[in-house]
Structure 1
């Protein structure tokens, strides 16, 4: 069965966020929120930065208002501390829940990431929050379905039946050099058709029934601009997901403003 040529996932110009229509509901998609990152950087690297929790939360609320989204989908690493949220990180997550779910009435769906080890204890019984397995899940109904997973583990093979698969985890960036040796680094999106055989390990790899027309894979930039990233056009920096780059060898690279740079290997 051929899939629709219309893109399900639409990045928001200038933002590390996208929307997707799931039936008659609009979802706002973000990846790698990393609540409490400032405390983590202080502990991990001795780096002192002012707490940006309020600004991060307001950015989310502004995007929800601008897009009139019914659901916030977080593609993993909602929190930053791998061992579990406490202190300022828990305070930030509590405040985000209150602002999004309680005050605005927007549901939250989380595809847990490698930094979300204790998210079940924090959000597992809260009204308005859905926690997916670490292997991800499929949202929406045919003919337009969205597979979501963080990307640090092999995804559920069921995601290969989706129209589009979205992941985080990579924090993709591109290093752009000028003619005199200077450079700047910008966040980027990666998009390309999936090679189904590369989306599972030896025990789970199996092309879907419509492998001639596989889903699109979208690798999302990190919402938290303090979380670093992978320079996807620098050979010395490898991908983090176990299925990349094999699962999308010809991925196209786009800047946040929508500029198409061509395949990430050619940038």
Structure 2
């Protein structure tokens, strides 16, 4: 059985794939400050150096053999250029000087895979399954996708499916009416019928359905879905229906219970 364990206090997790140990993150959104300036006229100091340093530190601290980005490595929905491309080049070089890097294409990654084809491995937007010793299953199989489109049905054969895109957050209130918003993990058994697109044919799952892990955004400036607020629209086309009994956890590991009731 594959295990995906969050790194306490960080928006990252580690998966033991048998032949290698992978560090997984989602929604890095490199170049977000450039995008916010262009899209909304918001001026913010770049945190590119901090993002890059944190990724490299996490690779070292977790003794990872590979970094897997679950989509939206880049921020602007266009081929990277200018300052955003420079940030991506520096980040990718810093990581790949240490370990190989895999990108699962997200909706913000237009042109990224082509631009950096010589430096990174790429999994298409409908995702794929990684892990298992020599393609087998003795160490478990982990499905990976971004989440902006319905996945390849073969992900239902994995033990755990990891996704990004949603940027889950919870709004927490105290006894005197104050509130704060924190990034969160969502975890629970997936509903196969809601997870895959009906146009892909019938759903066949042998044994228990996989666990679905929705990753918090790595980039704290990228906003997100307040999963415990009534009327909040989800971004992924299969959420929240595909996670009927999902639970929320804070980055520090605090279990909040059913995310709908937080």
Shorter-chain TM band: over 0.9
Alignment of 1:175-186 (within 5 A): 175-186=171-182
Partner of 2:126: 135
- SS state at 2:198 partner: coil
1:179 offset after TM fit, Å?
A: 1.7
Residues 156 and 205 in structure 2, CA contact (< 8 A), matched pair in contact too: no
Residues 35 and 93 in structure 1, CA contact (< 8 A), matched pair in contact too: yes
Residues 161 and 208 in structure 1, CA contact (< 8 A), matched pair in contact too: no
Residues 75 and 168 in structure 1, CA contact (< 8 A), matched pair in contact too: yes
Q: Distance in 2 between matches of 1:164 and 1:111?
A: 16
Partner of 1:120: 113
Q: Distance in 2 between matches of 1:202 and 1:19?
A: 32
Give the root-mean-square deviation of aligned CA atoms.
1.1
1:207 offset after TM fit, Å?
A: 2.6
1:205 offset after TM fit, Å?
A: 5.1
Partner of 1:29: 24
- SS state at 1:159 partner: helix
Correspondence for 2:164 among 155, 165, 168: 168
Q: Distance in 2 between matches of 1:228 and 1:205?
A: 35
Question: After TM superposition, which residue ranges in structure 1, 4 or more long, deviate above 6 angstroms?
Answer: none
Q: Distance in 1 between matches of 2:247 and 2:176?
A: 26
- SS state at 2:80 partner: coil
Q: Distance in 2 between matches of 1:113 and 1:220?
A: 14
Q: Distance in 2 between matches of 1:26 and 1:94?
A: 24
The number of equivalent residue pairs is 257
Q: Distance in 1 between matches of 2:182 and 2:255?
A: 13
Residues 197 and 205 in structure 1, CA contact (< 8 A), matched pair in contact too: no
Q: Does 1:218 align with 2:213?
A: yes
Correspondence for 1:228 among 223, 230, 247: 223
- SS state at 2:200 partner: coil
Correspondence for 1:62 among 35, 57, 60: 57
Q: Does 1:39 align with 2:34?
A: yes
- SS state at 1:203 partner: helix
Correspondence for 1:196 among 177, 192, 195: 192
Residues 105 and 113 in structure 2, CA contact (< 8 A), matched pair in contact too: no
Partner of 1:208: 204
Correspondence for 1:187 among 183, 200, 205: 183
Q: Does 1:264 align with 2:259?
A: yes
Residues 157 and 205 in structure 1, CA contact (< 8 A), matched pair in contact too: no
The TM-score normalised by the length of structure 2 is 0.95
Could you give the per-residue CA deviations for residues 96-155 of structure 1, whole angstroms, max 9, x where no partner exists? Answer: 121111x22x0111111000011132122x14x111111001001113011000000010
Q: Distance in 2 between matches of 1:249 and 1:130?
A: 33
In structure 1, the gaps of 5 or more residues are none
Partner of 1:93: 88
The TM-score normalised by the length of structure 1 is 0.94
Could you give the per-residue CA deviations for residues 69-93 of structure 1, whole angstroms, max 9, x where no partner exists? Answer: 0100000000001011111111111
